[in-house]
Copies of this chain bind each other. A is one copy, B any other.
Amino acid sequence: MSSALPCPHLFRRLAAKALRFTLLVAAVLALAQAHAAEEKPAKGLTMQQVLDASKPADWRALDPRNTLYMELPNGRVVIELAPTFAPLHAENIRKLVAEKYFDGLAILRVQDNFVTQWGDPDAEDAQKARSLGTAIRKFAAEFTRPAKSLPFTVLGDGDLYAPEVGFSDGFPAARDPKRGEAWLAHCYGMVGAGRDNDPQSGSGAELYVVIGHAPRQLDRNIATVGRVVKGMELLAALPRGTGPMGFYEHAEERLPIRSVRLAADVPSGERSDLELLRTDGATFAALIESRRNRKDEWYLEPAGHIDLCSVPLPVRARAATP
Contacts and interface: CB of A to CB of B under 8 A. Distances in A.
A299 interface: yes
A303 B236 contact: no
Contacts of A238: 237
B188 A303 contact: no
A197 B232 contact: no
A310 B307 CA distance: 14
Q: State the number of copies, please.
A: 2
B303 A217 contact: yes
Interface string A75-103: 00000000000000000000000000000
A160 B309 CA distance: 12
Contacts of A304: 161
Interface string A199-238: 1000000000000111111011100000000001100111
A217 B233 CA distance: 22
A11 interface: no
Interface stretch (A119-127, A128-136, A290-298): A290-298
Interface residues of A, number: 44
Contacts of A64: none
Contacts of A306: 160, 217
A197 B297 contact: yes
Contact of A158 (B160, B188, B197): B160
A113 interface: yes
Contacts of A232: 112-113
A213 B216 contact: no
Given A161-B304, A161-B307, 7 more contacts: A212-B213, A214-B310, A217-B291, A217-B294, A236-B236, A237-B237, A237-B239
Interface of A: 110, 112-113, 143, 157-161, 187-189, 197, 199, 212-217, 219-221, 232-233, 236-240, 291, 294, 297-301, 303-307, 309-310
